Amino acid sequence: MPGTIEAELLDGIPLPALIVGPDERIAHLNAAALALVGAAALGRNIALAIRSPELLNAVEEVLEDGTAREVLVRLPDDAQFRAFVSRLSAGGTRVLCILRDITAEAQAHAMRRDFVANVSHELRTPLTAMMGFIETLRTSARDDPAARDRFLAIMDREANRMNRLVRDLLQLSRVESEERVRPREPVDLAVILRAAAGTVRSAADEKESRITISGAEAPAIVPGDPDQLTQVFLNLFENAVKYGARGQEVRVTLGREGSSRGPVVRVDVADRGEGIEAIHLPRLTERFYRVDAHRSRAEGGTGLGLAIVKHILNRHRGWLRIDSRRGEGSVFSVILPVN
């Protein structure tokens, strides 16, 4: 066991830290390391206590040559740590290991990498199609009016999709930058719901559908940003119309209720579409996540609408609930605090 002073110094380190003896057994754990690996790790071989070949190799090499090392440690539960491994003293036979949790950093890096890859893919697909049509119009279809009109229509559709994607990316960036600043302006949700329904009415008419609102006869005041809340309900109404059954009724219900966070206003947007399988529900608000990618693109979706909704509601200290069953339609519920 290490001396009292060493133990006290180790316990004063806020990061998980442990001392490994010359037999590669753990001689001491501080409180943070104890919480990470458990009390049973004390006295065990480090290879059994922390199942990381990288950490074991680093300990063996430091015991052999005394040169400090920094290695990446991946644990079976997907946690990741940066481990700094060094001798306790020159010529000593004990090794100090300090672990810094970088799981959140690694996840954020992966999200950024995936985001860039998704944006590149979403932009490259229509650009590649447009470049192909342009080349065709310059050559074989130059004197073919029918082909020219058809290609120009497709190019117009793809250009509009790219424009919507760029618009949604800018909006998402703006919402994220403001997410920590809670809006305070009093907003009447009843007015916002009626305005959003009016904006979507033409799209609903094309599908012979209608949007009905109940519970909005009296004002429903919450603190909020009127433009952002309008965007929330525009996205939800448009989705309900797009992915709902033709000739359906999209039912919007405004109500007031209590919650563990105090009084709230709740808006349910219910459609009679195909419904969504339970496996997809937890991921619906992820950027670019689509249940049916082909249908989403055909309907003009960018894959960012629900991500924008989530971040706007986060800014308003509200939340989104999704209840859906395959073949029974979906209900998207927006809950906003009154105070």
Q: pLDDT for 289-305, tens place per residue?
A: 777 655 555 555 677 88
Where exactly does CATH 3.30.565.10 map onto the chain? Answer: 182-339
**In contact, 317 and 338? CB cutoff 8 Å:** no
Where exactly does CATH 3.30.450.20 map onto the chain? Answer: 4-101
Residue 242 C-alpha from the chain's centroid: 23
Residue 31's Cβ-count burial label (10 Å; 0-12, 13-18, 19+) is middle
Q: Which fold has domain 106-177?
A: Helix Hairpins (1.10.287)
The answer to whether the pTM exceeds 0.75 is no
Residue 26 has pLDDT above 50, yes or no: yes
**Strand ranges, E, within the chain:** 17-20, 26-29, 69-74, 80-87, 95-101, 186-188, 210-214, 221-223, 249-257, 264-271, 319-325, 329-337
Q: What per-residue confidence (pLDDT) applies to 2?
A: 53
Phi, psi (deg, nearest 5) at residue 324 = -155, 145
Q: Where are the alpha helices (DSSP H) in 178-330?
A: 189-206, 226-243, 293-298, 305-315
Residue 209 has pLDDT above 60, yes or no: yes
Q: Which CATH architecture has domain 4-101?
A: 2-Layer Sandwich (3.30)
**In contact, 308 and 289? CB cutoff 8 Å:** no
Phi, psi (deg, nearest 5) at residue 327 = 85, -5
**Ramachandran region, residue 87 (left: φ > 0; alpha: ψ -120 to 50; beta: rest):** beta
Sign of the C-alpha dihedral, residues 268, 272, 278, 282?
Answer: negative
How many CB atoms sit inside 10 A of residue 223's CB? 16
Over the stretch 219-276, which tens digit does the pLDDT of each residue have?
889 999 999 999 999 999 998 988 888 888 899 999 888 877 788 999 999 988 888 8
Where exactly does CATH 1.10.287.130 map onto the chain? Answer: 106-177
Mean pLDDT of the 65-75 span: 89
Q: What per-residue confidence (pLDDT) applies to 1?
A: 47
182-339 has which CATH code?
A: 3.30.565.10
Mean pLDDT, the chain, rounded, equals 85
Return d(Cα 104, Cα 98) in angstroms, integer.
18
How many CA atoms lie less than 13 Å away from 332 in the CB half-sphere?
27
**In contact, 51 and 78? CB cutoff 8 Å:** no
Report residue 177 as tokens: 């930058």
**In contact, 286 and 310? CB cutoff 8 Å:** no
Lowest-confidence range among 7-16, 56-65, 115-124?
115-124
